[in-house]
Amino acid sequence: MPLTSADFAAIWLTLQLASLTTVILLIIGTPIALWLAHTRSRLRGPIGAIVALPLVLPPTVIGFYLLLAMGPHGYVGQFTQYLGLGTLTFSFAGLVIGSVIYSMPFVVQPLQNAFAAIGPRPLEVAATLRANPWDTFFTVVLPLARPGFITAAILGFAHTVGEFGVVLMIGGNIPDKTRVVSVQIYDHVEALEYAQAHWLAGAMVVFSFLVLLALYSSRKSHTSWS
Amino acid sequence: MNLRARPFIPCALATLLGCIAFTSAQADEVQVAVAANFTAPIQAIASDFEKDTGHKLIAAYGATGQFYTQIKNGAPFEVFLAADDSTPEKLEKEGDIVPGSRFTYAIGTLALWSAKDGYIDGTDKALLANQFKHLSIANPKAAPYGLAATQVLAKLELTDKVKNKIVEGQNITQAYQFVSTGNAELGFVALSQIYKDGKVSDGSAWIVPEAMHDPIRQDAVILKKGEHNPAAKALADYLKGPKATAIIKSYGYHL
Amino acid sequence: MTSQINLRLQHRYPGFALDLDLQLPGKGVTALYGHSGSGKTTCLRCIAGLERASQAYVQVNGHIWQDSQRNHFVPVHQRALGYIFQEASLFPHLSVRANLEFGLKRIAHQERRVDLAHATELLGITHLLTRAPHNLSGGERQRVGIARALLTSPKLLLMDEPLAALDSQRKSEILPYLQRLHAELDIPVLYVSHSQDEVARLADHIVLLNDGKVLGSGPIGETLARLDLPLARGDDAGVVIEGRVGNYNLNYQLLTLQLPGSTQHLRVTHASMAIGQPLRVKVQARDISLSLNPAEHSSILNSLRVTVVSETAADNQAHVLIRLDADGTPLLARITRYSRDQLGLRTGQLLWAQIKSVAVLA
């Protein structure tokens, strides 16, 4: 078998990280996307821009700021130390936080588009039919935005799997804790272990292709709002 | 409009090509791949080199392993200042360098460093006390300073005791970063990173005795691409000269 | 006094201000009529709570839905209202039945006054229950939308130009259902429209809106005949008369419509109807000619004894509008200024109004 147990550990860790990140992002991304899709607040522009920042910033920038913020002298670090949690750098929890920030636009934007496409009308209709906002969310918004949720989950998961720069900056390359596949591949390349790098990198290519294939194949004509 | 514009394009192309040909014919430029830990010294050396020889030095900084991959895949570097001796040796064996051009331009010094003043008292006491949460080192598989760090830990019989506290930077720069930001209390870095004007400029450190690890030889080579470039040869010679040597030593390397 | 709708709304947008104070009857159909941009829809949305007017008092048959002075605002989903949007806005992910049940399910059993069978029968959609919304025609969709709103047993039905998005064929397909609704259900309706025809057919009461303000408000028959409102001046001006069937001549297919509180009647060609049935007709101002004598030896069926109430200028120089009174039923006549002078018309004068045609509305 060309993959070592360290490689498998990295794969398992990556899947855990991506799954957890995706779940967290769907939970916190949904209200953000809902707000962005419907608000008329002046803060819409700035908040939208902040959410989109990871799209344009090099991951190393995010990683660098996280390293400073989560470190013992940073605000986040001081807060977590105050809570008795220590610092989050070099920990799985830290990676999850980094990934959540890094992959945020990939989850929020498809959701936001889906919510915007639904428009305010179905929400108004539901309200006049006595559905309270929570009720409306689960019985109207969620089913109508389902394609958006699927896209968001796939992109969030895949993007987290492909994350490298942030992990590199705050991870510390610790086996079973922060050594994910992309870092493991980098290690192999750095150590000139090209054969192993090939196997892992090839697996990533196949995985990414399958994810995108699933995504594009699922984009049939959506039922339009009538 | 069309008719007028037409002759302009070949003209401009000819001028452009002429410029390129002219520049390369001058051949007083040298493209150098420099190991990241040698960034500061090469910048100091470059200005003297350009003044003394009239040649121009164009440097790219990065990880030695990456440079190897790039060189093998046709990168246009003419001189390579590596962070180790094994990579240049490998290139030599594979016939990618000008025969006989390999030499050691610097020997790195390993330091145990903390950003906190007084955390390290100039000895290995803080390390042996093992009261820290994170010890930063460079990736030992890729970086010679990382390998040297593991050798020191083995010599002090700490390998197992600190195993769960080690955080790895992908290179020596990142290992330094983990310590400088306070995320790791201490770490093994290159003395050149914390050394200025003959002393440790910031925080506290233990300069690790050379005997505790294999020497961190940093070798330089003239690559095949620089075979016919006099500036490449000139740079290699200049690095061996007294002016460059003095600068290199002032950054905490020895020779 | 509880069977009433009290509204005070003040709402500002850039370039538009809604400012109205209305007491509306708590039963029957009240039309909010005006040009687009007059504030009809905004008014409806403020009543529903879909928009929160900055200064507002909304009371519907005893329930206070908004009182901005006490900072009281009942959220939309807690208001017992049905809202019909211009487009049916059915939920595309639900079948027709699930759409209908969406509101129904959220109403406590003891508060349900309309059941699924009744609502679907009333709107003629029983055969559509298993269909998906995108397989329905525009008219069917709107009927489902109306039934869906009815199934929440609303205390007030708000209809925002429910026919505007439909072509004339679909419109005439739905209108009878709306008229049935009117006749069979005891739910007050606020009906937004810019179509005189719809208003004439459906409304008992009309509110005329212009630029966010109320120009006039009152029972339909009276209000349409008011000479101080722009409605009377147009070419389409006319009155709506709601009378009862007096008798029916089968041989000539002629129906006699008794004017309310009068011995006079109108005769219209119509299919057979039972005596005593209410019937609504529209008489256009331009279809009335005035005479000093009763018409004899004429093909004109209808000649009513009227008195002149007042007159006003029409929308052009050549015509004037005369308001008439036929034993309490207001009428409008559009005649030339020349004729007026020839006849020497003056207030209180007794005349005969000859009516060239009468349109049966319902």
| Orientation angle between helical segments A181-190 and A5-38, nearest 10 degrees | 130
Helix (H) or strand (E) holding C144: helix C138-150
The domain total for chain C is 2
Smallest CA-to-CA distance from C201 within C230, C171, C228, C235 is with C171
- For the ranges A163-177, B24-38, B47-61, C95-109, the lowest mean pLDDT is seen at B24-38
What's the CA gap between C291 and B221, in Å, rounded? 120
What's the CA gap between C127 and C131, in Å, rounded? 9
- For the ranges A117-126, A154-163, C289-298, the lowest mean pLDDT is seen at C289-298
pLDDT at B18: 44
A68 and chain B: CB distance < 8 Å anywhere? Answer: yes
Q: Are residues C219 and C249 in the same domain?
A: no
* pLDDT digit string, tens, across residues C156-209: 999 999 888 777 777 777 888 887 877 777 889 999 998 888 888 888 999 999
The tokens of A19 are what?
A: 């799954």
Residues of chain C falling short of pLDDT 50: 1
Q: Nearest C-alpha of chain C: how many angstroms from A187? A: 49
Name the pLDDT band for B81 (thresholds 50, 70, 90). very high
Residue of A nearest to C49 (CA): A128
Given a cut of 50, whether residue A225 has pLDDT beyond it is no
Cβ distance C32 to C190 under 8 Å?
yes
A58 and chain B: CB distance < 8 Å anywhere? Answer: no
Length of chain A as a residue count: 226
Smallest CA-to-CA distance from A121 within A144, A98, A103, A104 is with A144
Task: Report the mean per-residue pLDDT for chain A.
Answer: 89
Name the pLDDT band for A219 (thresholds 50, 70, 90). low
Q: Is A132 helix (H, G, I), strand (E, B) or coil?
A: coil
Q: Nearest C-alpha of chain A: how many angstroms from B222? A: 21
pLDDT at B214: 92
Q: Are residues C116 and C247 in the same domain?
A: no
C149 and chain A: CB distance < 8 Å anywhere? Answer: yes
What's the CA gap between C234 and C194, in Å, rounded? 14
Given a cut of 80, whether residue B38 has pLDDT beyond it is yes
Q: Using CB atoms within 10 Å of the CB of residue B6, give its burial: 0 to 12 exposed, 13 to 18 middle, 19+ buried.
A: exposed
Q: Are residues C78 and C180 in the same domain?
A: yes
Say if the Cβ atoms of A173 and B142 lie within 8 Å: no
Q: Is A70 helix (H, G, I), strand (E, B) or coil?
A: helix
Say if the Cβ atoms of B167 and A190 lie within 8 Å: no
Q: For chain B, first and last CA: distance in Å?
A: 67
Say if the Cβ atoms of B168 and A172 lie within 8 Å: yes
ipTM score here? Answer: 0.84
What's the CA gap between C239 and C328, in Å, rounded? 13
What's the CA gap between C232 and C211, in Å, rounded? 18
Say if the Cβ atoms of C83 and A124 lie within 8 Å: yes
Q: Are residues C145 and C45 in the same domain?
A: yes
Which positions in chain A touch B169 (Cβ < 8 Å)?
172-173
Which positions in chain C touch A129 (Cβ < 8 Å)?
77, 102-103, 106, 148-149, 152
Per-residue pLDDT, averaged over A56-79, amounts to: 89
pLDDT at A106: 95
Give residues with Cβ within 8 angstroms of B98, minimum separation 6: B221, B222, B223, B224, B226, B227
Which positions in chain A touch B168 (Cβ < 8 Å)?
172-174
B218 alpha-carbon distance from chain centroid? 8
Q: Using CB atoms within 10 Å of the CB of residue A38, give its burial: 0 to 12 exposed, 13 to 18 middle, 19+ buried.
A: middle
What's the CA gap between A220 and A216, in Å, rounded? 8
* Residue span of the structural domain in which A127 resides: 5-40+47-63+89-217
Per-residue pLDDT, averaged over A132-141, amounts to: 95
Amino acid at C286: R
C106 and chain A: CB distance < 8 Å anywhere? Answer: yes
A67 and chain B: CB distance < 8 Å anywhere? Answer: yes
Reduced DSSP (H G I as helix, E B as strand, rest coil) percent helix, strand, coil of chain C, to 5 = 25, 35, 35
Which positions in chain B touch A97 (Cβ < 8 Å)?
none
* pLDDT digit string, tens, across residues A187-207: 888 777 888 889 999 988 998
Residue of C nearest to A142 (CA): C93
Q: Are residues C157 and C67 in the same domain?
A: yes
Say if the Cβ atoms of B69 and A72 lie within 8 Å: no
Q: Is B172 annotated as a binding residue?
A: yes
The tokens of C106 are what?
A: 């959220």
The domain total for chain A is 1
Q: Is C123 helix (H, G, I), strand (E, B) or coil?
A: coil
> Strands B216-222 and B79-81, how do they pair?
antiparallel
pLDDT at A99: 94
A176 and chain C: CB distance < 8 Å anywhere? Answer: no
Q: Are residues C116 and C178 in the same domain?
A: yes
Phi, psi of B32 (to 5 degrees): -120, 135
Which positions in chain A touch C109 (Cβ < 8 Å)?
none
Determine which of A125, A139, A146 to mutate to test the interface with C (most C C-beta atoms within 10 Å).
Answer: A125
Give residues with Cβ within 8 angstroms of A198, minimum separation 6: none
pLDDT at C179: 79
**Residue finishing a domain among C204, C231, C258:** C231
Say if the Cβ atoms of A86 and B133 lie within 8 Å: yes
Q: Are residues C61 and C191 in the same domain?
A: yes
Q: Which of C85, C93, C107 sits opposite A125 (nearest CB)?
A: C85
Amino acid at A88: L
Smallest CA-to-CA distance from A72 within C214, B119, C202, C352 is with B119
Give residues with Cβ within 8 angstroms of C242, minimum separation 6: C221, C260, C278, C279, C280
Q: Using CB atoms within 10 Å of the CB of residue C296, give its burial: 0 to 12 exposed, 13 to 18 middle, 19+ buried.
A: exposed
Q: Nearest C-alpha of chain A: how many angstroms from C88? A: 7
Q: Which of residues 153-172 of A touch B (CB under 8 A)?
A: 168-170, 172
Q: Nearest C-alpha of chain A: how many angstroms from C76? A: 6
- Compute the count of residue pairs across chains A and C with CB atoms less than 8 Å apart: 70
What's the CA gap between B106 and B108, in Å, rounded? 6
Q: Which of residues 115-154 of A touch C (CB under 8 A)?
A: 121-122, 124-133, 135, 139-140, 143-144
Which positions in chain A touch C107 (Cβ < 8 Å)?
130
Amino acid at B106: A
Domain(s) of CATH 3.40.190.10: residues in chain B: 29-107+217-251, 110-207
Smallest CA-to-CA distance from C179 within C152, C159, C194, C153 is with C159
| Residues B29-107+217-251, CATH architecture | 3-Layer(aba) Sandwich (3.40)
Q: For chain A, first and last CA: distance in Å?
A: 55
Residue B188 CB coordination number (10 Å): 30
* Number of Cα atoms under 13 Å in the Cβ half of residue B78: 20
pLDDT at C177: 82
**Residue finishing a domain among C196, C231, C266:** C231
- Residue C82 belongs to a domain with what CATH number? 3.40.50.300
Helices (H) and strands (E) in chain C, counts: 8, 21
* Residue span of the structural domain in which C204 resides: 4-231
Cβ distance C57 to A97 under 8 Å?
no
Say if the Cβ atoms of B182 and A186 lie within 8 Å: no
* Number of Cα atoms under 13 Å in the Cβ half of residue A138: 4
| pTM for this prediction | 0.75
Q: Using CB atoms within 10 Å of the CB of residue B117, give its burial: 0 to 12 exposed, 13 to 18 middle, 19+ buried.
A: exposed
> Strands C156-160 and C189-193, how do they pair?
parallel
Say if the Cβ atoms of C149 and A224 lie within 8 Å: no
Q: Do chains B and A touch (3 or more CB pairs under 8 A)?
A: yes
Say if the Cβ atoms of A71 and B182 lie within 8 Å: yes
Chain C touching partners, 3 or more CB pairs below 8 A: A
Phi, psi of C62 (to 5 degrees): 95, -15
pLDDT at B74: 84
Q: Which of C75, C78, C89 sits opposite A121 (nearest CB)?
A: C89
The tokens of A214 are what?
A: 């699933």
Q: Which of residues 43-72 of C touch A (CB under 8 A)?
A: 48, 50
Q: Are residues C212 and C336 in the same domain?
A: no
Given a cut of 70, whether residue B15 has pLDDT beyond it is no
Say if the Cβ atoms of A121 and C85 lie within 8 Å: yes
Q: What is the DSSP string of chain B?
A: -HHHHTTHHHHHHHHHHHHHHHHHHH--EEEEEEEGGGHHHHHHHHHHHHHHH--EEEEEEE-HHHHHHHHHTT---SEEE-SSSHHHHHHHHTT-B-TT--EEEEEE-EEEEESSTTSS-SSSHHHHHT--S-EEEE-TTT-HHHHHHHHHHHHTT-TTTTGGGEEEESSHHHHHHHHHTTSSSEEEEEHHHHEETTEE-SSEEEE--GGGS--EEEEEEEBGGGTT-HHHHHHHHHHHSHHHHHHHHHTT-B-
Residue of B nearest to A60 (CA): B174
Amino acid at B183: N
Q: Are residues C301 and C340 in the same domain?
A: yes
A65 and chain B: CB distance < 8 Å anywhere? Answer: no
The tokens of C280 are what?
A: 């609504």
Chain A touching partners, 3 or more CB pairs below 8 A: B, C
Name the pLDDT band for B23 (thresholds 50, 70, 90). very low
Q: Is A53 helix (H, G, I), strand (E, B) or coil?
A: helix
pLDDT at A217: 82
Phi, psi of C311 (to 5 degrees): -145, 160
Residue of B nearest to A90 (CA): B167
**Max Cα–Cα distance, chain A, nearest Å:** 66
* pLDDT digit string, tens, across residues B205-239: 999 999 999 999 999 999 999 999 999 999 999 99
Q: Is C102 helix (H, G, I), strand (E, B) or coil?
A: helix
Q: Which of A129, A140, A144 sits opposite C103 (nearest CB)?
A: A129
What's the CA gap between B136 and C279, in Å, rounded? 94
In sequence order, the β-bridge partners of residue C41 are: none
Chain B touching partners, 3 or more CB pairs below 8 A: A
pLDDT at A214: 83
- Residue A206 belongs to a domain with what CATH number? 1.10.3720.10
Q: Which of A73, A90, A191 sits opposite B167 (nearest CB)?
A: A90
Q: Are residues C160 and C286 in the same domain?
A: no
Given a cut of 80, whether residue B24 has pLDDT beyond it is no
**Residue finishing a domain among C213, C231, C249:** C231
What's the CA gap between B141 and B160, in Å, rounded? 18
Smallest CA-to-CA distance from C154 within C79, C256, C96 is with C79
Q: What is the DSSP string of A88-104?
A: -TTSHHHHHHHHHHHHH
Determine what percent of chain C is predicted with pLDDT higher than 70.
99
Q: Which of residues 139-158 of B touch A (CB under 8 A)?
A: 139, 141-142
A6 and chain B: CB distance < 8 Å anywhere? Answer: no
Evaluate the CA torsion angle B140, B146, B149, B151 in order and state its sign. Answer: positive
> Strands C4-13 and C16-25, how do they pair?
antiparallel
pLDDT at B25: 38
A95 and chain B: CB distance < 8 Å anywhere? Answer: no
Name the pLDDT band for B132 (thresholds 50, 70, 90). very high
The topology under which CATH files domain B110-207 is D-Maltodextrin-Binding Protein; domain 2 (3.40.190)
Given a cut of 80, whether residue B141 has pLDDT beyond it is yes
Say if the Cβ atoms of A226 and C88 lie within 8 Å: yes
Q: Is C115 helix (H, G, I), strand (E, B) or coil?
A: coil
